[in-house]
Structures are given as C-alpha cells and as structure tokens.
Structure 1
Amino acid sequence: MTTMLALLLLFLSLPPLILSLKQEVLFLHQVKLRLSDPNGVLSNWNDQDDTPCNWTSVTCDPLTSSVISVDLSNSSLSGPFPIFLCRLSSLSSLSLYNNNINYSLPLTISTCRNLTTLNLAQNLLTGLIPYTFSLIPNLRYLNLAGNSISGDIPATLGLFRRLETLILVNNLLDGTIPAALSNITTLKSLQLAYNPFTPSRLVPELGNLSSLEYLWLSHCNFVGSIPPNFGRLSRLTNLDVSSNMLSGSIPSVIFELKSIVQIELFNNSFSGELPLGWSNLTALRRFDASLNGLVGTIPDELCKLPLESLNLCDNQLVGLLPENITGSPNLYDLRVFNNRLYGSLPSELGKNSPLQTIDVSGNQFSGEIPASLCEKGVLEHLALINNLFSGTIPDVLGKCRTLNRVRLRGNRFSGEVPAEFWGLPHVNLLDLGENLFYGNISHMISGASNLSVLFISKNRFSGTIPKEIGSLGNLVEFSGSDNELSGQIPPTIVNLGQLGTLDLHKNELSGEIPVGIQSLKQLNELNLANNRLSGKIPDEIGSLPMLNYLDLSQNHFSGKIPLDLQNLKLNMLNLSYNDLSGNIPPLYAKDFYRDSFLGNLGLCGDLPGICIRKTEAKNHTYLWILGSIFTLAGMVFVVGIVWFVCKFWNFRKTKKGISMLKWRSFHKLGFSESEILDCLNEDDVIGSGASGKVYKVELGNGELVAVKKLNERSKKNYESFASVDSQSFATVDSQKDAFEAEVETLGRIRHKNIVRLLCCCNTEDCKLLVYEYMPNGSLGDFLHIGKCGLLDWPTRFKIALDAAEGLSYLHHDCVPSIVHRDIKSNNILLDAEFGARISDFGVAKIINTVNKGAEPMSAIAGSCGYIAPEYAYTLRVNEKSDIYSFGVVILELLTGKKPIDPEFGEKDLVTWVRNSLDPKGVEHVLDPNLGSSFKEQISRVLDIGLLCVSPLPINRPSMRKVVKMLQEAGAGAGNNPRIANKDGKLSPYYYEDCSDQGSVI
C-alpha cells in the first residue's frame, strides 16, 4: 500500500518536474549563447533535449534530476560571468576555474543562493569584489585567486556565517584588510597573499578566527609586528607571513599555537634573538626565519623538536650549534649558513636522524667532519664552505653513495681524500678547493659517472691526472689549478664532449697538449699557464667554437703561433713567456695584444718591445744612454707641441663631431675606433627603432661588428635594435639613461652566453655601441619570419640551455646580481653555430641585495606577452620576473608561435598553452617542425617552461635550478619538475629552500 502511494505521488509530480528540467535546459542554453567556446566544450548543450543531465560538465541529483553541479574548468571560455546559472534552483557547486571570464562580477551574483562552492580562480576578472557575496547564505568555499580584481575587500564579507575557505591570492587588491573578516567564525583557510595592499599592520582581530587552520599572508606589504591576538589561533597549522616588512622580535605568542606545523617568517626585518618556549610546539615540522636580522644562538629546545626543516639562513646568528641537535629524530635538513656560528659540529650529528642536507657554510665552525653524518644512508647535500674545519675526510663518507653535492671549499682540511670518495656514483658537484689536501686523484674517479663539476684548486694534490677522468661524460668543469700535479695531460681528456672549463694552471704538467682537442666543442676556458708543457700549439685550438679564454703562458711551447687562432673570438689571450717564433698572426699584431706575447725571443712583428733579441741585448746599455740623452730633448719637444695638440683635437671634434677621448674599449680590439665612423652606411642598416639604427659593419681587417647608433639625446625612450616591435615597453627608471645602463652592465660581463660589447662612444652629439656581430640574427627572427623549419629540436634545446646559462650567470654569479627585465626571443642572438647569447641590457637593473626582495620601479620595462603578472601591477622587480619571461621563450621554442598573436584572441601564449594541454598528449601545441623523435625530452622541457611561467613567483624555480633541470632533460635523467596545483600554490608544507635565497648548496 505504501509503495503504491509513493508511485502515485511521483506520477502526480511528473508534469512540474518535467517542466522544471526543461527550464534548466533553456537556462543552460542561454549560458552557452553568451560565452565564447573556441574548443567546443559546450557543443552537446542542445536546447532540444529534455534534460541536461547527460551534458558535458553537468551533474544532476540522482533522485530529482535537477542540476546540482556545473564544472567548466580549463575550458577556454570567455565572456561575462554566466548569470543564468544562478537560476538553477538546486545548483550547489560552480567551477569556472582557469578560463577567460573577463568582466566584473555582477552584484546579482547573490541570486546563486544555493551555492556552497564557487571557484572562479585563474580568470581575467576585473573590477571590485561584489559586496553582495555574503547574501549567498550557504557558501562554504570561495576562490577568486589569479584574477585582476582591485579595490578593497568589502567589509560585508564578514557577514558570512558558513564560509570555511576564502582565497583571494594574486589579485590587485590595494586597500586594507577589513577587521570585519574576524566575524567569520567558521573560517578555516584565509589566503590573501600576493596583493599590493596599502602598507599597514596585521589586523589583530584575525586572532578571533578560532577555527582558522591555514593563514597565508605573504607579499601583502604588512609592517609592524605579529599581533599578540594571533596566539588565540589554537587550530592554526600553517602561518605564512613571509616577504613582508614585519619587524621587531619574533614574538613569544607563537608558542601558543599548539597545532602549528609550519611557520614561514622569511624575508622580513625581524631582529633580536630567537625566543624561548619552543618545547610547546610539539607538532612543528618546518620553521623558516631566513633573510631577517636575527642574532644570538639557536635555542637548545628548538633543536629537540622533530623538525623536518630548520632554516635560519642569511641572519646574524652568533654562538654555538647545540650538541643536542642530534636528538631530533626527524631532522633531515639543517641549514644555518651565512651566520656567525662557531665551535664544532655535534659529534653524533646524523646518527639519530635521516639527515639529507647540511649546509653550515659561511660561519666559523672548526673541528672535524662528524663521521656519523651519513649514518642513516640518505645524506645528499654536504656544504661546509668557508669555515675553519680541519682534519681529514672520514673514510666512512666514501661509502655514502647517496651524496650528490659536496662542497668543502675554503677550510683547513688536510690529508688524502679517501679513494672511494672520488668515485661516488651520484655526486655531480665535488668542490674540495682551497684546503690542504694532498695525495693523488684516485683511479676510482671513473665511478663518478654523474660528476659535472670537479673543483680541487689551491691544494697540494700531486701525481698524474688519471686517464679514467676521460670517462666522465657529464663533466662540465675541471679546475685543478695551484697544485703539484705532474706528468702529461691524459689523452683521454679529449673525450669530454661537455667540458666547458679546463683550468690546470700553476702545476708541474709536462708534455704536449693532447691530440684531438678540437673535439671539445663546448670548451669555453682553457688555462694551462705556469706549467712545463712543450711542443707546438695545436692548430686545432683555432677550431674550438666556444673558446673565449686562452692562457698558455709561462710554458715551453715552441714553433709558430697557429694562424687559425684568428678564428676565435677571445676575451682573453696570453701566450707570453714561451719559446714561440715566427710572425704574430695579423689579427693579433696590434698594440692591444702586446702583453699577450711578451717573453718569446723568436717572435717577429711590428710591435716594438715584444721581445729582446740577443743582438739587441748586447746593445741594450748603449740604447739606454742614447735614450737618456733624447729624454731631455723630448721634454722640450712635448712642451712645444702641447699647443698644437689642443688645436688638433678641437679641429677633429669640429670635423667629425666626435672626440676620440670619448671612446671606451672593453676588450682588446683588432681595429681602431675611428674606422667605425667611416663604415656607417645607410645601405648596411640591419635594424631600426625609436632610439636609432643598427648597422652591419665590415672593417678593414675583415671583421664584422654590429654598431648601434642612438638618436641624439635619446634617453628615456630607449629601445633595442632587437626590440623594434610596437609592443615593447623600455622605460628606464633611474637617472642614468639606457645607454649608460647598457654600458655599465655589458662592460663588466664576461660570459660565453652574453653578447660582447666591444667598445662605445658617448658625446653630446652621438652615442655608439659596438658589439660582436651575430650572423644568424635573433631567435625571434628564426621563429617568426619563416625560418622556423631550419631549427630542429637539438638546435632549439641548445639555444634554450645557452640562454638559461647566460641568465643564470646574471642572477647568481654577478656581484651584485643583475635582472635583465626584457628577456624575449628578439633579445637572444644566434652566432654562426646557433649558440645563443643574451643581448640588450638597456633596461637591466642591478639588484641591491641589502634591501632583500623585489625592488620598486617607476615604470614597466619589458615586452607584451613576456611581462610577469606580478611585475605588471606592482612594478616591483626581482629575478622571478626574468624567469617568467624565459619561460615564455621556452614556449615559443616549443610551439613556434609568438607570445601575442591574433590566433589567441585576448589571451597570450602562456594562457593558450595551459588551456590547450590535453592529458593524452602535448603534440597539438607543439611546432609540427619538431617531429616525434624527441617526444620525451620535449615534454620535459615543456614542463620546465610551464614551471617558469607559474602565476605565483614563489613557484618559479631559480635560474640555477632551471639550468640543472634542462641539463637533466637533455641527458634523459632526473626527476620531473614539481608543478603547482590548480590553485597556483604548492602543498601547504611547501617552502622555498635556501638555494633560491643565496644558498651555496
């Protein structure tokens, strides 16, 4: 009887139910009509259907068939917010994550009254946050991250009564945080990071959020201290207030956070000592207070906690490292570098915990290396640079096969290095330099198959270099200078195809340079000075395409100087004090190279003083007497011609408009600067822009150079010859104009992947910059003007790696570091071998490391499609801005498409790639010219590019990491890079390690 009654009621309700379903079909069809759907995601939304329950992205209630969820994430939809969705009476969940919804949110959004989840993150929303949001009574999850929403956070949001998650990360909110948010007593997660809020104090009322578990407030311009009220957040597991302007002492209020797992305080201005009371934080696993101004010692009780990571780098800590740090059973990462700690490392460090990383560099530690560091067999990184350590390397570390980075430079270690230590299979960096080690390099080094950098300079190593070193196929640098190595350079060294640096100067090596050296195609630096080498200088050295540093001085080389050395483009050449004879090659027979050939008795040429022949030596005394006589006459002569010289210069300036005293050279030149002026013909213009023209100039000696001639008084509208497109922003934000910025930057840089500035001229009437000529033009030319098919994948990969190494040099190896600010394919030039070099430093910025963090600019510098989102709206610049731009270049290399293209509509290349990726494959976003032979490698490089263009700067790797990941991708080894989740943030316990903050690991 009951069953029959239920069936009867269902039958009676069918007409209105069918009518309701038909209405939902019509509402959803209206949504389809109002959105642009380039991928056809909504193609099966047919208004002729009786129900929408079978439509893509639509979920219905199994009993009533009413629509309860619409998930259109990652669908490339554009248009206004589809307000017709709010007419679905049962709709409880709506996600439009990662689309192109590009209007302001309407106030009528409050009509979505049954929503519990609303995700509009990663769109193009603008305008204000509607104050009517709080009228959605059951809303529990609200995510508006990654948009362009501006203005204030409405105080009316405090009227929510069930909201648990509020995410407003990475927008343009520029007001203050309202205290009314503290009224949302149900709130568990509050994420407001990466917004340019007005500088203000942390809102103390937030301490009233008794249910709060996750608080992310980094990069919000907070000042002052952490409020005492925060101690009331008893359920808080993650506190992140990093990268603000907080100051004062770290308050003891944090010890009231009984549930805290992670505390991120890095990159602020905290001072004073670490407080006491850490034993209360029994759940704490990560604590990062790096990049502050802390002093004092590490409290014993902090070291007793089961920490997974203790990061106190770049502070001013003084004192001892507590012995009871060894009692931490979960300690796997210990980094206290760049402080003033002293004493010995705890003798049982690593014995009771799975220690993976230890970095105590830049302190005053002494004593020996604890033998227990690798007790658990998981030690990977060992960095003890620049301390006072002594003793020997424990034999037991030779069995620590997990080690991959070892840096012991700048200590007082002595004794022989254990034989097994040389051959650890996973070590890629072995740095033993500047110690007192002695003994031989072991033949067991053949086992170090992953070794890429071997640095053993400034020790007392002796014996021969083992032939097994030629089996290290990944070796990029071998620096063994200032030792007592003897015997011949092993012939097997020519097998090292990846070798970029070979520095063995100041040893006792003998014999000849090995046959076959031309196979070292990547060799950038060859320094064999101060040895006992003999024989002829091989002609093959002149065929090394990457070589720009050659020093063979103070040996016993004989014979003629190979003419093929003229094929090289050297920053440094030194062949002095050998037994060379014959003529100096014409390119180098210039006064600029005088010091490069001193002390070779048999050399001939027109450079007086290069050598003193025997017959000249006999008459040396007579010449000296005659010289003295003529000195007095010369003084009288000089006084007589002063007037003439002054008149001459004035005449020359009038005639040519340029005073040669204004020329400035940065390299030894094979031409005179005056030749440049005679070769600037309009027929040779290869580029032009708002600031001037660029000429291809062939000089009298056959050398080609590129000359950039800036318009008269062209200052703050400077534009590179490689940046002539109308979408380039290059406004200089300092008192120096772009010309001076480029001269100041390029004039002091020496790197194989940075274009060389040869010389410059600066007068009131003319500004000239003379560069080495790059015959293959820019990468942008090849990719976008019909030459794309000429670049196969190995060539593109080489270009990406070269450019990454050049940018890594600017960020990590220049002191102070340099941010380019206009990285793009047009500013990556290609030499004859398609080697890449970064150019155009007109808007480069030297970063003041004292200020820590991003520096404010007065205007945007860069080019459309390449500008990092946070830079575009905050005008604050750091290395992460360059990394985003480099990621765009990687995507250009992979897709062959421009960063901004009509094909993308209102989107850019980054958005197009993200939206077009298919879980089944990546082929449809790749340039068809790449083929399928390198599919796995290309996929890895695509992952690296996407990591570089992460919306949040914190998720982008450093350029040093990018280089490493590219090298691993090229070798087919290594782990895939870690990609952020769809909310744009890594896991709650992610933290940026010290290697991105200046670590020496």
Structure 2
Amino acid sequence: MELKCVRVWLILMLMFISSKRLRVKGCLKQEKSALLQLKHFFNNPYSIQDWVEGDKDSSDCCQWKGIECNNTTGRVTSLYLDYARNQEFEEWNLNVSLFSPFQELEILYLSDNLIVGCVDNEGFERLSHLSNLKTLYLNYNMFNDSRILSALSEHSSLKNLSLAYNHLRELNHFNVSQLTNLKYFSLSGNTFNHNILPYVSVFPSLKELHIVNIGLKGTFDFQDFPTFKNLKFLYIYHTHLGMFNGSFLKQGICKSLHLQKLVIVDSDLGGNLSWCLTNLTSLELVDISSNQFTRDISLSPLKVLTSIRDLWLSDNQFQIPFSLEPFFNHSKLKIFHSENNEIYVGSQSQYLAPKFQLNFIKLSTHNGPFSKMVGDFFPKFLYSQHDLEEVDLSNLNLKGNFPIWLLNNNTNLKKLYLVNNSLSGPLQLPIHSHIFLKELDIFINSFHGHIPTRSGAYLPMLQTLNISRNFLNGSIPSSFGDMKSLESLDLSYNSLIGQIPYQMVMGCFSLQFLVLSNNSLQGEIFPTTFNLKNLLKLQLDGNNFTGKIPNSLSNCSLEWLYISDNRLVGTLPRWLGNMPNLRDIIMSNNHLEGLIPLEFCQLENLEVLDLSKNNIIGSLPSCFPPSSIKQVHLSRNKL
C-alpha cells in the first residue's frame, strides 16, 4: 500500500515538473527583438510607451501594451497596433517581413497608421507561412495598389479581414477562391470603379459583410447576381443600389436564408418591399432607413417575419398605422424606429393586445404632423407596455393630458420626447420617484399651471429638461436643486415669475445649458456665490432682471451669453475678456454704461457682439474687432 502511494506521489511530481517546463515565463528573446525593431516604425509614444529594452519592470514583452502571448510557449499571438504611427509623419510603405518572426501570430491590427502600400517584394505574401493568422485589420490606411489584394489571396487561414476606408479602386487582382475560411469581410469606405458583388459573394464561409459608403459602378447581369448563401450579417450604408431596386432583393438578398441582420441604409432603394423577404425566417434585425420605400406597412412582408427583434424604418415613404396592429404577433419585437414616415390612425381593435413588450419606440416626424394624422389620443398598445426605455412621439398632433401613466407603468423609462403636439392640462408627477428618467422634452405644447413643487425630488436623475413654449406660470421650484445630474434646462417662452432659486444655482452643479428667456423672471441674475462652474450657455433675455452682471459668472467657461431685454445696469465687466471660448455676447436693450473694455480684444473666438440700445460711451478700442467677428451691433448708444 505504501509503495502504491509513493508511485502516485512520483507521478504527480513528474506531471508538476513537466507542466512547469512547458510553461514559459515571458516572451521569447528573438520575438522581443523583433518587437523593438517594429518600434522604429510604430512610434506613437502612447501606443508603445512600455516597449523598453533593459528595463527590469518591462523586460517581459508579453506584458507590453498591445501584445498578447501564448501562456505555454511564450510566443506572441496578437499584435494590436492601431493608431501606433505618429500622425505627424507622412504616409509610408510597410515592410511586412518585420512580422515574420512571430510564428504563432493569430491577430494583427494595423488600422489608422498612414500606410500607403508595401515595400517591393516585402508585402503580405511574406506572411503566407503563418498558418495561424486568422484576423487582419488594415482599415483606415491609404492602400491604393491592388497588389496587396493578390498577396492577401494567399492567406487561406484568414477568418476576419478588414480593408475598410482605404483608397482601393478594384478587386480584379483578388483571387478569392483560396480564402475558403473567411467569415468577416469589410470593404467599406473605398470607391470601386466596377461591380464588386460577384467577388464577395463566392466566399463559401462568409457570414458577415460590410460594404458601407462605397461606389458600385458598371453593368450587371441579374441572371448571375451574387447569392450570399451562408451570410448571417449584411451591412450596406450609403451605397447607390437604386439601379438594382427589387432585383437586388429578389436575386441576391432573398436567397440568403440564414440571414439574421439585414442593414441597407441610405442606398437609394425604393418601391415596395419584395415578398420574397418572407423566406428570411431567421431575421432578427432589419434596418432599411433612409431609402425610398413606399406602401402601407400593413401590406408588407415585414408583418409576417415574427422573428424580428429590431426594426428600423425611418426616413422612407411608408404608411404606418399608429396602432402598430400589424406587428401584434411579433412577440420578440423590442425596437421600433419609424421617424419621418406617414403615420395614420387606422382602426384599432378593442380586443387585440400585442404580444411584444417594446424597449424603444420612435414614431416622430421632423416636419410636423402629416395630413392623415387625424387622431387625438395615444394608441392603446402603449397602455400595455412596461419595459419601455425610450419613447419619441413628437410632431403627431396628439391631444389630451400629460401621459403620467407612461412613467408609472415603465419604471425603466430613460427618455421621453413629446415635442410639438397639442397636449394640455397641468404637468403631473409619477406616483413614486422615477430614478431612471434622464431626458424629458415636451417643448411646444399647451401645458398650463405651475411646475410641480416637488419636481426635483421625483425626477432626481434628469439630465435634460425642456418644457419651453408652453403656458406655465408660477415660480421655478426650489426642488430643481435636487437634480444633481441636470445638464440642460430650458424653461423659455412661458409665464414664469419670481427669482432664480438659490437652491438651483447651488445644487445643479452639472448644469451646462440654462435657458430661461422670455418669461417674467426678476431680481438679480445670480447671488454672489453660486455653483454653476460648468455653465457654457446662459440665456436670460426677455425678462425683468435687474442689478449688475454678476462677477460670479467669471468662474464659468461661458461660450454663449444672452441677457438682452432686461433692466441690467452697471459697466461691461472686464473679466469677460478673459473667457477665450466666448462666441456670442448679446446684451442689447438694457441700461449698461461706460466704455467697451480693452480686454474684449482678447476674445479670439468672438463671432457676435450686440451692445445696442444701452448707454455705452467712448469709442471702439483700436485693437477691435478680433478676426473671428461676424456681427457687431452698437446702435442707439452714446459712442
């Protein structure tokens, strides 16, 4: 029994010793030397800050930034050299042989390095022996020679290849037949002088194709149109496909039976959606925004594709029922974006309920309600939603009260936009504090009454609040000071009275944009001390503010200052000249006096200066105006 235990112990010790021998601490000496040689070309200090020879703490190159190694062999497996070339240098030719020592290299990122080509006879063909190389990213360079394509054709191990945003013009030298393992391919941002689709359609394993913002020219034979049999993800942006129209879908896309994500944005496609799309039963994401598609969405194949999770239809000419009833069977639907289409009411069944629970819905238009939008109230399906995070129902001529039920039912709601409708009645607060709401925009409606006293307590996490151009009265609640995250506040064009609350100017320390113009606010602008040091825009014009321009504003980083049409007195502050980012100074129609300070000559970014209708004396400083100035208004003073 003791002998047996000894044997087991010896075996375990041998296994431990063997594993210790197999594990190599640190990178190989020859590969470290090769990396230091690369350092002469990839010389962005930030990217290679720890590539140092002889430093004891940095002796292991596997710990260097942008390097990953095999834990067992110590060999380099990944090189992330994106933006690793000093951008002050000119474009250059890459000597690819520098990467030959890395025998186990699997991933090589060389994006955004001003590479225009390769040294003669030292191109990517020199890496064809690297059988493990699977990922190569060369995007955002300046490659313009088709020889790089011929060299890349020899890399049969490649699975991911990006040539996006270079200066490629053709693929005629691209022998794609050898790239049998390619799964991801991006040619975005190049302008080709011929049809590239036949080249990219023959990759037998291709699953994801990006052809964003490219030129597609030449003539096409739709009988031989490319078929993407195994494709799962197709991304096409800003590519002129109008010449294909329905044929592009019928002869190509509709045969990609495994397609899960279809993105064809801003590509001039139009007409009706082809019913052959119903073959794509695996579709999860469809984005056909910014095209010229037409027809009532109720009669389209999209209502059959119940596997869709994300649906983007914006900026087309679809007719879309406000009820969304054609999609009630889409139990997986989470995102529905349809800005700038024709929204109509249509019939709403009293008994049908949607199977979906949406996260995002956008049915807004940018140009006001369409003529067919004759309904007054919120669609019934919204009352059954509980997972909404973003809602945009702007410009739809909606009537009724503020939809407080929408906030009460959707406790995760982050953004609510109801701009330019006909909603009325008093503003209401949710039943409980709504800790997730970050943006509330109800600009241009007919809400009246006071802003609820406890607004800040019940909406503490707001970052943007816009309730301008309504009929609100009363004072600004002091509870606004509880909105510690508030960055933008617009209460303009109401009938608000009283002073700016002290609690607000002390508590809203994140505030960057404060717009209170065209109300009946009064008193001094700000107290002697305040806490709005992040303020970029202050717009208080069209009120009854009195007193001097407060010195406390000198602690801000103002870019826009609008305080015209008030009752302000005193001289123009000299410290305004110490605000280098100031673009607009609008102070017309006050009781300001004295000279224009010499310090105004230091405002190198000043574009608009309006001091008209005041009591300014003297003359313009000889150094004025700065070169950036576009408008100067000084009429009706005592200059």
Q: TM-score, normalized by length of structure 1?
A: 0.46
Structure 2 vs 1, CA of residues 362 and 525 (structure 1 numbering), >3 Å: closer, same or farther?
Answer: same
Distance 1:381 1:111, change over 3 A: closer
Q: Is residue 123–residue 148 contact of structure 2 (8 Å, CA) maintained in 1?
A: no
Aligned to 2:513: 453
Identify which of 424, 430, 450 aligns with 2:483.
424
Q: Deviations over 1:953-976 (max 9, x none)?
A: xxxxxxxxxxxxxxxxxxxxxxxx
User: C-alpha displacement at 1:337, in angstroms?
Assistant: 2.2
- Alignment counterpart, residue 109 of structure 2, candidates 73, 78, 94: 73
For residue 454 of structure 2, what is the amino acid of its counterpart? V
Give the counterpart letter for 2:480 in structure 1.
F
* Pairs within 5 Å for 1:432-831: 432-444=491-503, 445-467=505-527, 470-486=530-546, 488-489=547-548, 491-509=550-568, 512-513=570-571, 521=579, 525=584, 529-530=588-589, 533=591, 537-539=593-595, 541-545=597-601, 546=603, 548-551=608-611, 553=613, 557=615, 561-563=617-619, 568-569=624-625, 571-574=631-634, 576=636, 584=639
Matched, 1:281 2:330: yes
- 3-state SS of paired residue (1:366): strand
2:311 to 263, 283, 299: 263
- Three-state SS of the structure 1 residue aligned to 2:301 is helix
Match of 1:193 in 2: 237
1:194-221 CA-partner distances (Å, limit 9, x unpaired)? 3334533141242232211122222322
| Matched position secondary structure for 1:385 | coil
How many residues align? The count is 520
* Letter of the structure 1 residue corresponding to residue 176 of structure 2: F
The Cα offsets for residues 516-563 of structure 1, whole Å up to 9 and x where unpaired, read as 5556645555555555x47xx233545323464333626xx5xx8234
* Corresponding position of 2:360: 309
Correspondence list, 1:928-947, <5 A? none
Aligned partners of 1:392 and 1:414 also within 8 Å? yes
Could you say if the C-alpha distance between residues 516 and 138 of structure 1 is closer, same or farther in structure 2, counting changes exceeding 3 Å? closer
Q: Which of 102, 111, 117 is equivalent to 2:159?
A: 117
Cα drift, residue 286 of structure 1: 1.9
Q: Tell me which amino acid in the other structure corresponds to 2:599.
A: S
Quote the sequence identity (%): 21
- Measure, in 2, the Cα distance between the counterparts of 1:503 and 1:526: 6
In 2, the alpha carbon distance for the partners of 1:470 and 1:447 equals: 9
What do the CA deviations read for 1:865-889 (whole angstroms, capped 9, x no partner)? xxxxxxxxxxxxxxxxxxxxxxxxx
CA distance 1:150–1:420, change in 2 (3 Å): same
Is the CA contact (8 Å cut-off) linking 1:131 and 1:154 kept in structure 2?
A: no
How far apart are the structure 2 equivalents of 1:91 and 1:277?
A: 49
Quick check: 1:173 aligned with 2:216? Answer: yes
* Counterpart in the other structure of 1:5: none
SS at match of 2:407: coil
Pairwise CA distance, 1:297: 7.3
Q: Which deviates further from its counterpart, 394-403 or 292-301?
A: 292-301
**Residue 51 of structure 2 aligns with which residue?**
none
Q: 1:97 aligns with which of 115, 138, 144?
A: 138
Aligned partner of 1:231 among 261, 278, 290? 278
What amino acid does structure 2 have at the position aligned with 1:397?
A: S
Instruction: Give the aligned residue type for 1:407.
Output: N
Q: Distance in 1 between matches of 2:341 and 2:617?
A: 56
Q: Distance in 1 between matches of 2:202 and 2:585?
A: 70
Q: Are the equivalent residues in 1 in contact too, given 2:320–2:341 (CA < 8 A)?
A: no
Confirm or deny: 8 A CA contact 2:508 2:531 kept in the other structure: no
Work out the CA distance in 2 between the residues paired with 1:462 and 1:470: 17
Aligned amino acid, residue 486 of structure 2: V
Instruction: Return the match for 1:383 from 431, 441, 450.
Output: 441
Which residue of the partner structure matches residue 387 of structure 2? 330
Question: What is the letter of the counterpart of residue 171 of structure 2?
Answer: L
- Once residues 337 and 506 of structure 1 are traced to their aligned partners in structure 2, the CA distance between those partners, rounded to angstroms, is 31
SS in 2 for 1:280: coil
Which letter does structure 1 place at the counterpart of 2:339? Answer: S
Give deviations 1:891-936, integer Å, cap 9, x for gaps: xxxxxxxxxxxxxxxxxxxxxxxxxxxxxxxxxxxxxxxxxxxxxx
2:340 pairs, out of 291, 295, 301, with 291
1:314 CA drift (Å)? 2.2
Instruction: Name the amino acid aligned to 2:393.
Output: V
Deviations 1:342-396 (A, max 9, x none): 3333231212321211121122222233312984312111111112222222233
CA distance in 2, matches of 1:476, 1:107: 50
Deviation, structure 1 residue 112: 4.6
Contact 2:415/2:438 (CA < 8 Å) preserved in 1? yes
Q: CA RMSD in A?
A: 4.2
TM-score, structure 2 length as denominator? Answer: 0.69
Residues 476-485 or 90-99, more deviating: 90-99
3-state SS of paired residue (2:405) = coil
Q: Distance in 1 between matches of 2:550 and 2:149?
A: 77
Residues 178, 240 of structure 1: CA spacing in aligned structure 2 closer, same or farther, 3 A cutoff? farther
Aligned match of 2:402 in 336, 345, 350? 345
Contact 1:463 1:485 in 2 (8 A): yes
Quickly say closer, same or farther: Cα 1:226–1:143, change in 2 above 3 A. same
Among 204, 227, 247, the residue aligned to 2:250: 204
CA deviation profile, 1:489-516 (whole Å, cap 9, x unmatched): 364345344334444444455x534765
C-alpha change, 1:287 and 1:182, in structure 2 (3 Å) is farther
SS class of match (1:512): strand
Name the residue aligned to 2:453: 395
1:164 & 1:386 partners in 2: Cα distance? 47
- Going from structure 1 to structure 2, the CA distance change for 1:494 and 1:376 (only over 3 Å counts) comes to closer
What one-letter code is carried by the residue in structure 2 that aligns with 1:121?
A: L
Q: Deviations over 1:214-242 (max 9, x none)?
A: 22222322222221121221211221222
Which has the larger helix fraction? 1
Query: Which residue of 152, 158, 162 maps to 2:195?
Result: 152
Q: Shift in Å at residue 336 of structure 1? A: 2.2
CA distance, structure 2, for counterparts of residue 88 and residue 126 of structure 1: 28
Mapped pair 1:367 → 2:425 = yes
Q: Secondary structure, in 3 states, of the residue corresponding to 2:254?
A: helix
Secondary structure of the 1:277 match is: helix
Structure 1 pair 453–110 and aligned structure 2 pair: CA distance change class (3 A): closer
Alignment-mate amino acid for residue 460 of structure 1: S
Distance 2:203 2:159 in 1: 13
- 1:298 to 1:217, Cα distance in 2 relative to 1, 3 A: farther
SS in 1 for 2:610: strand
Per-residue deviation at 1:166?
3.1
What's the CA shift for 1:188? 1.3
Deviations 1:288-339 (A, max 9, x none): 2223344447979898843232122325453322365254222111112233
2:16 match: none
Preserved CA contact (<8 Å) 1:262 1:286 = yes
Q: Aligned pair in 2 of structure 1 residues 241, 179: CA closer, same or farther (>3 Å)?
A: farther
When residues 497 and 185 of structure 1 are mapped into structure 2, their CA distance, relative to the original with a 3 A threshold, is closer
1:54/1:433 Cα in 2 relative to 1: closer, same or farther (>3 Å)? closer
Counterpart of 1:440, as a letter, is Q
Aligned letter for 1:311? K
Alignment pair present for 1:408 and 2:467: yes
- 1:164 aligned to 2:224? no
Contact 1:459 1:483 in 2 (8 A): yes
SS of match in other structure, 1:191: strand
* Matching residue's letter, 1:95: L
Gaps of 5+ in 2: 1-37, 49-60, 62-72, 80-101
Letter in 2 for 1:119: L
> Contact 1:184–1:209 at 8 Å: present in 2 too?
yes
SS in 1 for 2:237: coil
Aligned to 2:266: 219
Q: 2:133–2:158: 8 Å Cα contact kept in structure 1?
A: yes
